[in-house]
Structure formats: C-alpha cells, structure tokens
Chain A
Amino acid sequence: MLVVIEQSQRQVVVRCCEHARGVGVRPGMPVAQARALFAPADAARVRLEAHEPERDHAALTRLAIWAHCLSPVVSLDTPINSASHTEPDSSDDLLAEPEGILLDMTGSEAVFGGEEHMLDLARQRFDRLGIHARIALAPTVGCAWALARFADASPTRITPGDQRNTLAPLPIAALRVSGETVAALSDVGVETIGQLMELPRSALPARFGGGLLMQLDRALGRLPETIEPIRPLPPPTAGRVFEGPTDRVESIEHAAREVLGEMVRQLRERQMGARLVTLTLHRSDMEPEHLRLTMALPSCDDRHLWSLLRPKLERAHLGFGVEGVACSAGQLRRVGHEQASHWDQPGERAGERSGDRSSGSRWGGEREAAAMIDTLRNRMGIDRVRYATLRASHLPERAVALELEPDRSVPAATPNDRPTLLFERPIPVDVIALTPDGPVHGVRWAGQDHGVACCFGPERLGDEWWRRDAGSTRDYFAVRTERGRWLWLARAIETNRWFIHGVWA
C-alpha cells in the first residue's frame, strides 16, 4: 500500500507499507517510479490511498492516549522541522508530521519486571492492535528516535553511555535534521553520524547551522530535551457544596440529582457513556461516603442512573450532616448517537415496551437487558450476577467459570456428556463393586441402598500436575439406579473412596 499526495501535478509517495519499503519504495518518490520497483505481477495490485494528515494525527493521538497503559508520560513524535528549527523546504514538508509516539519509561521497568520484559510486552500489545511498530529503548529521545527508524532490529535497547557507539554507524538523517543539511553534509562526504562526530565542532555551526550540533548533543545526552505529554481529558465530574452541614434528605437528593445531570451533560458532549459512576457525600467530621454504580453497558442516561442511585442514597449514612456532594464517572466508553434510536418505527418501540416479540422485527432490547443487569447488580452486589464461560480444563470443577463479563471464547476440545447438576461438594457414598475399578452393582447413601440397572465407565480424569492444588486422579461412572436416577459416580484412585459428583436431573 502506498499513501500518496498530489504535488506539482504528480503523485508522490508519502508513506508506504513494509512490503513496499522492502522493494525500495521511499517517501518522496513519484508513484510511477515506485510502481516500477514492483514485480510486474505485484504492480497491478499496488493500492494507493490519499494522504489525510488530519485523520493520521487524530489516530496517532488516540494511540498515544491508549499508550498510557505502558507509561504515564506519552507524547507525539517531534516533527523534523520543528525539532531542527530550520525553514521547511518542499521535500521536508512530506515528513513534517509526527509519525510516532514517545514514552517516558523512566522507572517503569520495575513495574513491568525489567526492560526486556517491558519491550516484549509493548511489542505484544501493539501486535494485538494490528500495528507493526518499530520500538527502541534508549537513554535520550534523539537516540530512541534514531534507533526506532534506522536500527536493523526491533525492538532495540541500549544502556546509558552507549549512545556514541550506537549512533556512529547511523546516517545523518537519524539526527532529525532537515534534508537540506543532510544533502550539504553528503556533498562534503559526511554520510554517517560517526564521521560527523570526528569533524571539529567549532566549524559546524558556521557551515551547517546551529541546529545540527544541537540535535547531535541532544541525541548524545549533552543537552536536555523536553517532551510535551498528551494529557487525556479528565473524567467528567460535578459537585455542589452546601452552606453548612445538612441532614435533610430532600436537599441532598436535589443536589445529587443536579450533579448527576451535570455530569451526564459532560458525558453527552463527549459522546461517551460511563460504566462506573460514583456519588460522594462529603460528611461533616466523618469519612466521605462513596456510592458506586456499576453498569453492564456504558450509560449516559440520567434517568436510568438516578433510578440506580436513589435507592443507595436512601440507605446512605449521613452522619452529622453532609457538607457537599460530588459525582464522577469512570470507565468511559464511546456510545452511539442517541438520535438514531428516535427514527425507529413507533410500532416497533411500542411492541418492545409491551414485550411483544412476535412481530418478526429484530430484537432491540439490548439497552433494556443492560438496565436489568444494572438494577440487579446495584441492589444485590456486582458479583451476584454473572456470566458462565467455558475453560480449557478436563476437570469438571475447573471446566467452567462464572465471570462478571461475558467471554465468547470456546475451548477447542469439548468433553463427553456431563451431568446437568454438579455438586459443589461431592457426596461420599458406599459402593458395591466386584472389582475396585468397577463396574458398580449398588450404591448406598443417605441410609438407603440403591440397586444399579446399568453402569458406563470408567472415564479417567487425571489431575492437573502443573497446579499446586491438584486433586487426585478419578474414575467416573455414569450409573442408572433401578429407580431411574442417573448419577455421576467418581472413585478417587489414591484413597479408593467413592463420591456422587453430579446427577442428570
């Protein structure tokens, strides 16, 4: 893929994919020349995309905000021309936009378990996003910039003090200087940074400008360089302070409703919804009381949020009086435009409200389902409403898990038929069997003998040896009693004890 712009009535390459770079395509190259570099079979498949700097910048900003999961200080890459403080010429205009992000990783290696592990983690996360990123870790911004673009390997890491040796074989362009400076140095036979460093420093500013030495010193760490971090927008918050402590529930409810509405307005302006809403009651001479709401789907519906918040507020302990209330939103997610739902057919919405699902139209009650889950969770507790997910384990008690979020992944291997009811604690029973490993002829539990009509098994399930709390190996039998009950009997191999682990009910 080639990203191109129209320049002087011809198309010029601005960016290119890794495959195109491999055949020799470079930014600034005319498209016709770039096409000629491809094999005839590939030339027809070259995809051209128009360069849209605003969209690129917006996407890079979103990526920088996302990268706060790796570092608290993230900024966009410094454009070449602004870094070197030189007048842009026509060829440098192509590269005058940021094309990378800078992360200040000082002190972060302790969080991620070392620099090597930190680099691996960063690469994995970018890969997961589908972004082919070249990553470098260096003591200075200039050195990291140069290595990310001109080093042979990625990710690359150098230790403090190695900047000089590392930068020496790299080309002059790695110093973030203009193409004019690179060309001027090339005219006198200086192609690499190592050759530049051997020249007398006093002669360089007069012939190539002061920016060259400044960039060199920045890369080597002799001059400091600051980065302008991108700050994500603060979460929507709103608050009210009373003139004095009050324990009047009506006043507190009125203020809480107001701050909630103000916070929801901020959410709507950003077209975002919150999955976490906290109402804080600042109580006099007491710790503040935090009333938290957790939503299944991001919401910016003040009526729904208030219906969840009000019961909590009624049960809140006001102490010696409340001096103020504050509301904040967390776990923000983008929500669809609300106006779109107003264009639904009136009949469909009426049918949805009355529960009529037989009209043949597509079910659109996701919001109602989320409201139901929110109401259940905020009254009973978030952990009392769960989704079941399958796990890749052959042990029945570990093959499933109840999670707070739905997980659609399914393990590849599916087990044999399993009972419909699995006991949390297997019931010990006495079993009559001719041989220790079955088949079963009779079962005795709860003081009663039960004859066995048929018995299937054993199905041996070994312990998971890689776990510390691994249980014993078990033989399972599906047994039908003479009364028609189907039991799932288990025999612990080590102890030779029998249990009922489940029933088909």
Chain B
Amino acid sequence: MRTKCHCESGPVTIQSRSSRTAVIEALRSELRVYRDEQTTPKHPLGHLDVRSGSALSLSAGTHEWFGAEDVDGIAAPPLALLADLARRKIREPASGGYVVWIGRACWPYPHALCSRVPDLDTDTSLLARSLFVDPPDHATRVWAIDLALRSVGAMLVIADGSGLSMAESRRLQLAASSSGTAGVLVRPERDQAEISAARTRWLVEPACETGILDQAWTVHLLRCKGLQPASWSARKWVVRRDHATGTCDPWTPHHGGVVDAVDDRSAAPATAPSTHIQHRRLA
C-alpha cells in the first residue's frame, strides 16, 4: 500500500510499514516543536499562552466579540471579560493612551472598571484611562471607531459593532492594522451570520456547569485568521471572575485538549500548505 503524506519539505511517499512508522514519529516530533512554539509571543492573538492558561492580550487589528446574553431584549455584551482585557492591556510595558468605549451599548458600569485589592485602596487606573464616547447614529459611530483606531492616543478601542457591514468591517480592520491599535467590536449574537474582515471572532456564554459560587463564562473562538484549531472543542475556554477583587482568573481550557489541538500557522514557514494538520491526520 502506498500512502501519500505532506511534510515541511513537501509530499512524501511511504514505501513500507517500518518507514511509515518512522515518518509518523518524525511528524510527531515536529508537532512537539509546534506545541513549544505556542508559548512564544508570535501568536496572531498576541500573547495567549494556552499551555499555562494565562491571559489573552489582543494584538493589533479588530476582534469581534459576541455576547450571548440577552436580558429582556437588552443585549448584554461580555463586559466583565472586556474590562479584564483592558486592564491587562494597560499593564503592558510602554502602553499609553486611552481605553475608548464607543457606543452606550458597550459602556460598562464604571465601578466594574475598578479592581479591589484586599487591605489596599481601589485600583482605579483603568477608570482613569477610560474615555466614554456616545455617537448619535450609526455613521458617526463608524467614523468615531475609525478615528480612534487610527489615533495614537487610543491604546484599546472597545466599540459597539452592531449592524456593521462587510465594507465597514474592512475599513475598521485596515484602520487598526495601519496604526497598530487593537479594536474590540462588541456585536449581538444575531450578527454572527454577517461576514466580516475582523481578525478574530469570539462568542461568550454564561457557564452553566461551573460551581454555583462562580461567575464564569465560556469563551468560544469562532474564527481566527492564521490560526487553525484541530477541533472545535479546542476553541473553548472557561473564564472565572473573582467577585472579591473584580478581576478575572487566567483562562482555563474547556474540557482540556486545547494544548494538543492549537497550532500556530503564522509562526510556520510560508511554504507550509493550508491543510497541513488535516493531511497529517490522514497519514
């Protein structure tokens, strides 16, 4: 039986069972190398260390977040996670500028931007660096997001992205890419059917199966340019919020398997085919 397999150097034809085992072993060792690369900060999402379950830091570009909650017809965007992302962003070295919240639909309650440190004062650094913008209509909102994304004065833009068309999404993605600013577009769950040019898409749902004392959410990675998870279960994390401090704990993989499944395509050589993982499985 002759089997065809793709490797870094191109397709390989396996002649015998023993040589086939050797090739599989070689592929496994190569996969281990890829796993190790997951700990490097080359990830298209920024710093997402899935092995240790540490924090996500958004890279430049637009990222769409869909909030699954809907209380009495009022969309409730995943504000706890977004506040935590913003908090981590302002702690990065050499970070400066405002966290700009555009659109009343995604304005958090300002107390949620303060974290409480036991026996110490409230940490209001995120609140002090937050700017709240209330555009009157859709066109002005898109203009304001575009302006903020292009400005060096904005470190992170978190905006109401409901009703964005593909052209508007493309415009915002180009603006974010050109300036190096990270933008989060908060969209309602029904907008998932809309195509967009965003770099990543996320869905946040309340976690039902966690301990009853936890505030927890399940985060699904719906799409990521340059990142190709091997299985759908690998795209899920559970995030818990500590109600005492108001901060989120490190992300933990949902039902495990994340470490084994995520591959970093952007770190791979340009010659690697897009169906890399799939071919290996066939082998």
Contact = CB atoms under 8 A, between A and B. Distances in A.
B173 interface: no
Interface in B177-197: 178-181
Contacts of A484: 205-208, 210, 216-217
B72 interface: yes
A372 B148 contact: yes
A439 to B, nearest CB: 13
Contacts of B122: 410, 414
A421 B121 contact: no
Q: B108, B110, B114, B205 — which one has the most chain A CB atoms within 10 A of its CB?
A: B110
B259 interface: no
A415 interface: yes
Nearest to B180: A355
B77 A400 contact: no
A502 B206 CA distance: 15
B132 A356 contact: no
Nearest to A407: B128
A303 to B, nearest CB: 16
B127 interface: yes
Contacts, number: 178
B93 to A, nearest CB: 7
B66 to A, nearest CB: 12
Given A388-B130, A390-B124, A400 B109 contact: yes
A433 interface: no
Nearest to A369: B153
Interface string B18-48: 0000000000000000000000000000000
Interface residues of A, number: 67
B151 interface: yes
Nearest to B101: A388
Given A365-B96, A369-B98, A421 B72 contact: no
A317 interface: no
Contacts of B133: 376, 380, 384-385
A418 B147 contact: no
Interface string A366-408: 1011111101100111001111111000001001101000101
Contact of B180 (A357, A366, A485): A357
B108 to A, nearest CB: 5
B162 interface: no
Nearest to B83: A420
A502 to B, nearest CB: 7
A353 B151 CA distance: 9
B153 A365 contact: yes
B74 to A, nearest CB: 7
B108 A421 contact: yes
Nearest to A387: B131
A504 B80 contact: yes
Interface stretch (B1-9, B163-171, B241-249, B261-269): B241-249
Interface string A197-215: 0000000000000000000
Given A357-B96, A396-B111, A504-B215, 7 more contacts: A363-B95, A363-B97, A369-B97, A372-B154, A402-B132, A414-B116, A480-B215
20 contacts: A355-B178, A357-B155, A357-B180, A360-B94, A368-B97, A368-B152, A380-B134, A380-B135, A380-B140, A381-B136, A384-B136, A385-B134, A387-B130, A399-B111, A410-B124, A422-B109, A445-B71, A454-B213, A484-B207, A504-B241
Closest 8 CB pairs of A and B: A363-B96, A369-B153, A484-B206, A355-B180, A505-B76, A388-B110, A420-B79, A355-B179
